[in-house]
Structure 1
Amino acid sequence: MGAQYSDKIEEVLSDPDRITEALAAGVREALKKHKQAGNPVVVWRDGKMVWLKPEEIQV
């Protein structure tokens, strides 16, 4: 990996807000795609795994 890439990676990884936003955007996109495709998702609620039907997914 070239120095130009490692510099950018270090810059991105040093910004926790940027990481959090990137992860949140990825989750939103995944939920949107699951809902559009009619697929359920699993979430964690009150210490348990719970399946959400596509119509229950909030994007």
Structure 2
Amino acid sequence: ELIRQPNGNYKLDHAVTATQKVILGAFGLDEEWIKAQARQIGKDIQNAAMPEEQKDDDEDAENEEY
């Protein structure tokens, strides 16, 4: 479960349990995969909630070369 932090970021509400790790292992997944997916979902949620104008500015910044 992801929860929203006061700064607008999202994070896992709790650690992955031992039972969940066993189940994930059966599918070739691990705790790091879950954390990476949670980070990506959090970013997707933030971007979906971001005003379109700000998204354009952020995308332009990502494409800049330094």
- The TM-score, its normalising length taken from structure 2, stands at 0.39
Tell me which of the two structures has the higher relative contact order, counting C-alpha pairs closer than 8 angstroms and 6 or more residues apart. Answer: 2
- The TM-score, its normalising length taken from structure 1, stands at 0.43
Larger Rg: 1
